Amino acid sequence: MNFEHTEDRRMLADTLNRFIAEQAGTEHRNRIAYGPEGFSADLYRRLAELGTIGALFVEADGGFGGAGFDVSVVFESLGRGLVAEPLLGALMVGRAVAAAGSAAQKEAVLAPLMAGGAVAALAHDEPGGHYEATRATTTARRAEGGWVIDGAKGVVLCGDAADWLLVSARTAGGTFGAEGISLFLVPGDAAGVTRQGHGRIDGGRTAELVFRNVAVGADALLGAEGEGAVLLERAMGWGVLALCAEAVGAMDVAKQHTLEYLRTRKQFGVPIGSFQALQHRMADLLLEVEQARSAVINAAAAIDGADRIAREKALSAAKYSIGRIGTLVAEESIQMHGGIGMTWELPLAHYAKRLVMIDHQLGDEDHHLARYIALGQLQ
């Protein structure tokens, strides 16, 4: 297998890395990410103008990329700059609409997303849940001219600012069954939707959503009624790949900062990087980061394949690896910096927080290890 990116992907990565470094440095990023909005609409639009969002979609849907490696290139660059703008929601919701949306739904959602003029959020996790892909207590019942949705969703990324919410709701079956889950495109400002936003510890915002008699038209249903579980799995799979690639980008920066610190910080008149114990710890860390990178490459190669089990196993293996290694990188980098590694002013502290929190998005390492084992039993 050739692990080198195409020239177009290398150019995209170079452009993104340079733009983010120049226009969204650490201080600027923190001011935005920890601010009341959690992201910059202007920066989001400018990223879209560079083709960042378009690279996440295939040409038939108005994009110019859309393969697994296109997604990994984009999100690795975003991870290097700790970009808090809502591209993850654009990817997951956009891919679901592209896969199952009607012509009208695609026209309403995809073009504004790729232009950076709309924010989308996946509203699936619920209070009391634990990463279950087929858990849904939110309900949707048929009503005259459409549907009525009732329920609650928790920790919805950028949910308080989203123009479009992709909501999972049960139209049949029990709480945990895959059959009977339907997906609905709901305007963020729809009557009956209550949104309570709050800041994340690593920057950006999430929201708790409550749906009370939210009436939507028949055209809000995405795909076939009761068959949303498969579509949801695919959308979340793209999200898992994106998060894993983002983590690799963040790991690279944390690694570079730690290496630089070991070379410059002196104790007893010599750089602390000359101490054998720290050299061994750093060598182990470098090997682990490369293991994480290999897992992401494997997931990016598998996500376009037709074999569901192989695809989902590769994604869960990557997310498990990222969860374990990301936490290790965060802990080791801070420990080798000493007390300064915990300070707000040092960028490393923010990379460490982001790496730890990535593990808790779309399933932590324990969840994906169990999922990997369960998928293996199906082969």
How many domains does the chain divide into?
3
**pLDDT at residue 49 in the model:** 96
Mean pLDDT (the chain) is: 95
pLDDT over 90 for what percent of the chain?
Answer: 88
The SS3 call for residue 172 is: coil
- Of the candidates 98, 119, 140, which is a domain's last residue? 119
pLDDT surpasses 60 at 229: yes
Q: Do the beta carbons of residue 324 and residue 249 sit within 8 Å?
A: no
Phi, psi of 58 (to 5 degrees): -75, 165
**pLDDT at residue 209 in the model:** 98
Q: What is the secondary structure of 97-148 as a DSSP string?
A: HHHH--HHHHHHHHHHHHTT---EEEE---TT--S-TT----EEEEETTEEE
Lowest mean pLDDT among 138-147, 244-253, 262-271: 262-271
- Going by pLDDT thresholds of 50, 70 and 90, the confidence category of residue 2 is low
Give the residues across from 208 on adjacent strands: 196
- On whether residue 2 sits in a domain, the answer given is no
- Going by pLDDT thresholds of 50, 70 and 90, the confidence category of residue 255 is very high
Residues 125 and 158 in one domain: yes
**pLDDT at residue 174 in the model:** 87
Q: Using alpha carbons, list the distances in angstroms from residue 268 to 265, 271, 308.
A: 10, 8, 57
Neighbours of 349 (CB within 10 A): 18
Q: Dig out the tokens for 367 from the structure.
A: 């969840």
pTM listed for this prediction = 0.96
In this structure, what CATH number is given to the domain that contains residue 202? 2.40.110.10
**pLDDT at residue 4 in the model:** 75
- Going by pLDDT thresholds of 50, 70 and 90, the confidence category of residue 113 is very high
- Going by pLDDT thresholds of 50, 70 and 90, the confidence category of residue 24 is confident
- Of the candidates 95, 119, 143, which is a domain's last residue? 119
pLDDT surpasses 90 at 227: yes
Residues 19 and 76 in one domain: yes
pLDDT tens string 165-223: 999 999 999 888 899 999 999 999 999 999 999 999 999 999 999 999 999 999 999 99
Residues 216 and 236 in one domain: no
Phi, psi of 236 (to 5 degrees): -70, -30
d(CA 269, CA 278): 16
Neighbours of 97 (CB within 10 A): 27
Burial (CB count <10 Å: 0-12, 13-18, 19+), residue 38: buried
Residues 252 and 363 in one domain: yes
Give the residues across from 52 on adjacent strands: none
Q: Do the beta carbons of residue 137 and residue 123 sit within 8 Å?
A: no
Phi, psi of 153 (to 5 degrees): -130, 145
**pLDDT at residue 256 in the model:** 96
**pLDDT at residue 1 in the model:** 56
**pLDDT at residue 7 in the model:** 87
> What's the rounded mean pLDDT across residues 95-115?
97
First to last CA, the chain: 24
- Going by pLDDT thresholds of 50, 70 and 90, the confidence category of residue 3 is low
Residues 45 and 156 in one domain: no
pLDDT surpasses 90 at 305: no
- On whether residue 109 sits in a domain, the answer given is yes
Q: Do the beta carbons of residue 145 and residue 130 sit within 8 Å?
A: no
Residues 192 and 320 in one domain: no
Residue 162 DSSP code:
-
Residues 203 and 269 in one domain: no
In this structure, what CATH number is given to the domain that contains residue 271? 1.20.140.10
- Of the candidates 208, 226, 244, which is a domain's last residue? 226
pLDDT surpasses 90 at 274: no
d(CA 275, CA 255): 17
3-state helix vs strand vs coil in the chain, percent to 5 = 55, 15, 30
Residues 367 and 252 in one domain: yes
d(CA 310, CA 251): 26
d(CA 146, CA 4): 49
Q: Which range marks the domain in which residue 145 is found?
A: 121-226
d(CA 144, CA 257): 59
pLDDT tens string 366-379: 999 999 999 999 87
- On whether residue 236 sits in a domain, the answer given is yes
Phi, psi of 116 (to 5 degrees): 75, 15
Residue 6 DSSP code:
P
Phi, psi of 136 (to 5 degrees): -150, 115
pLDDT tens string 73-102: 999 999 999 999 999 999 999 999 999 999
Q: Do the beta carbons of residue 251 and residue 289 sit within 8 Å?
A: yes
Residues 199 and 132 in one domain: yes
Nearest to 200 by CA among 158, 243, 166, 153: 158
